Amino acid sequence: MSMTDPIADMLTRIRNGSTARHSTVEIPASKMKAEIARLMTEQGYITGYDTKQGEHGPVIVVELKYGKNRERVISGIKRVSKPGRRIYAKKETLPKVLGGLGTAIISTSKGLVTSAEAQKLGLGGEVICFIW
């Protein structure tokens, strides 16, 4: 994975932080990453997020979420569409993650939404990532 893809970098930091049982991870901020963090909070994958000023510009601090016995809430997270190979889904062929147990984040003309939300809005778009 090259560090030229900031979204893949964000997902990797969350994946690694979760695996290492960290309480928070810091990610260089961008609007897109803030939107992904917002959707992850809404879907219950993370406790919350906050944007603050870091040493080298704004950072998003993501509060990772764990179950009662410190079991991970996020068992997997995967970048689908990459800068070198964009993946799009039509509204008829929106992806299901683990038969609907996971979440697919889609970038639509109405902003970032989950695949279920895109289905309701009747929109297709770029498949950003899968979380389960």
Q: How far apart are CA 99 and CA 21, in angstroms?
A: 27
- Note the pLDDT of residue 40: 96
Domain boundary among 64, 91, 109: 64
Any domain includes 71: no
- Provide the residue range defining the domain that includes 34: 6-64
Distant-in-sequence contacts of 47-55, Cβ < 8 A, 24+ apart: 54/26, 54/28
Any domain includes 83: yes
Predicted structure pTM score = 0.91
57 & 81 share domain: no
Over the range 82-99, which residues count as b (16 or more CB within 10 Å of their CB) and which as e? eeeeeeebeeeebeebee
Question: Is there a domain that residue 69 lies in?
Answer: no
Instruction: Please tell me whether residues 42 and 81 are part of one structural domain.
Output: no
83/106 same-domain check: yes
Over residues 44-62, the mean pLDDT reads 95
Q: What is the pLDDT of residues 3-16, one digit of tens each?
A: 589 999 999 999 99
Instruction: Answer yes or no: do 59 and 82 share one domain.
Output: no
